[in-house]
Structure 1
Amino acid sequence: MIGKRASTADLIDHLHTLRSEESLEGIARYGIVTDAALGISNPVLRKIARAAGKDHVRAFALWDSGIREARLLALFTMEPTRLTAVEARRLAGDFASWEIVDAAADLFVEAGLLTLVEEFAADEREFVRRAAFAMIAGAAVHLKQEPGVTVIAWLGLIESHATDPRNFVKKAVNWSLRSIGKRSRACHGPALALAQKLAASADRTERWNGKDCVRELTAENTLARISR
């Protein structure tokens, strides 16, 4: 039984007992790196995380194992109030999968490390840059008390990188723009204006980003939601 006193070794041993070859084949279809994976689903990992509890030091030991599930468990059990920018950069240096990036981005937002957004966006590494836009998307959705001007200010960053054709960056840029546009009525207008501008671009990636975002930001369900 996994409990709050479980050690790193206890947790990793437990993860190995849950290995699933069938699940490994399934997650590979979603572009998730499986070289160091066991095939355990996120709901199961979150259940283990709740049982194990938060432990910042243990979390970094789990991360250092390099195992996909141990790294996700690490992100789920780190203490956001203790996470520093230095530690976040250390994690970012190991990014090699969109799934890990997106989980880390949620943690970074919860930890209040929004100053890293511009730094990560300027980084040429595909998954580090993705982290910047995953953070924007997460902040737009979850930081409800943050002033709208905070997320609107990121539109310039989105525009600057809307031409990046790399799959995991392109999708995160798109995600961040849509998330800002759906945050509120005040955010919708500026986000839609940028989407329309991108949609008219001669650049293929910008145009794809713009058209896809315009489609979602002008959808009836989106308009109904922000009008409430």
Structure 2
Amino acid sequence: SKLFKPKDLTEDLMEKWLVTFENWEICDSFSMGVFAKSALPIPKIIEWSTRSREFEKRASFATIAAYCMADKKADNAVFEQFFPLIHQAANDDRIYVKKAVNWALRSIGKRNIDLNKRAIEEAHKIEALDYKSAKWIARDALRELQKEVINILDYPRAIYRP
């Protein structure tokens, strides 16, 4: 971020900013430009995923989506730990939450071929849930993750492009 260096971020500052988010644009700007690029996103992703306020919860999943690109060397296990959070939030029918949950699932699935397979498996599990939002999240993710031509990023490159 040009306005704030992610390395200077603290958990207190994350919380102070988070509670001020009133729309998706501000939420996503902070999630992508600051939170995902900091050293602090994983505990906050987990914590925020169960928040009740719409844009606080959205921040969890927008940060997951951005973190898929921000940490190019992270192991698959880092991202696999987010599948239960995605599954749990799939019943939230608020538009800005369900879109971020879907975005997180698709972003994990585009990180590399192994995570693509896992994201597709998770999408099928989500599709089986008895919630309209879950079915939308799953079907939209499957439509993108199962395309014949999909832009897989191959992160971490040391493993996927040796």
Q: Normalising to structure 2: TM-score of the pair?
A: 0.89
CA distance in structure 1 between the aligned counterparts of 2:56 and 2:48, rounded to whole angstroms: 6
**Which string of whole-angstrom CA distances, capped at 9 and with x for unpartnered residues, describes residues 89-137 of structure 1?**
0000100010000111121111121211111112100000000000000
**Which string of whole-angstrom CA distances, capped at 9 and with x for unpartnered residues, describes residues 142-182 of structure 1?**
21111111011100100010110001000000000000011
Indicate the SS of the match to 2:52. Answer: coil
Contact 1:80 1:110 in 2 (8 A): yes
Indicate the SS of the match to 1:220. Answer: coil
- Residue 171 (structure 1) aligns with: 99
- Residue 70 (structure 1) aligns with: none
Residue 190 (str. 1) matches residue 118 (str. 2): yes
Equivalences for residues 40-119 of structure 1 within 5 A: 76-106=2-32, 107-114=34-41, 115-119=43-47
Whichever residue aligns with residue 160 of structure 1, its letter is: Q
Count matched residues: 154
Q: Normalising to structure 1: TM-score of the pair?
A: 0.64
CA distance in structure 2 between the aligned counterparts of 1:182 and 1:85, rounded to whole angstroms: 28
CA shift at 1:76, angstroms?
Answer: 3.7
CA shift at 1:223, angstroms?
Answer: 7.1
Indicate the SS of the match to 1:160. Answer: helix
Whichever residue aligns with residue 189 of structure 1, its letter is: K
CA distance in structure 1 between the aligned counterparts of 2:78 and 2:84, rounded to whole angstroms: 12
| Cα RMSD (Å) | 1.8
Equivalences for residues 112-127 of structure 1 within 5 A: 112-114=39-41, 115-127=43-55
Contact 1:217 1:223 in 2 (8 A): no
Could you tell me which of 119, 142, 147 is aligned with 1:219? 147
CA distance in structure 1 between the aligned counterparts of 2:91 and 2:26, rounded to whole angstroms: 24
- Residue 129 (structure 2) aligns with: 201
Identical aligned residues as a percent: 33
Q: Which has the larger radius of gyration?
A: 1
CA distance in structure 2 between the aligned counterparts of 1:78 and 1:224, rounded to whole angstroms: 30
Seen in structure 2, the aligned counterparts of structure 1 residues 193 and 86 have a Cα distance that, compared at 3 Å, is same
Could you tell me which of 135, 138, 141 is aligned with 1:210? 138
Whichever residue aligns with residue 205 of structure 1, its letter is: S
Report 1 or 2 for greater relative contact order, CA contacts < 8 Å, sequence distance ≥ 6. Answer: 2
Q: Which runs of 4+ in 1 moved over 4 A?
A: 223-228
Equivalences for residues 132-147 of structure 1 within 5 A: 132-147=60-75
Whichever residue aligns with residue 5 of structure 2, its letter is: E
Whichever residue aligns with residue 3 of structure 2, its letter is: T
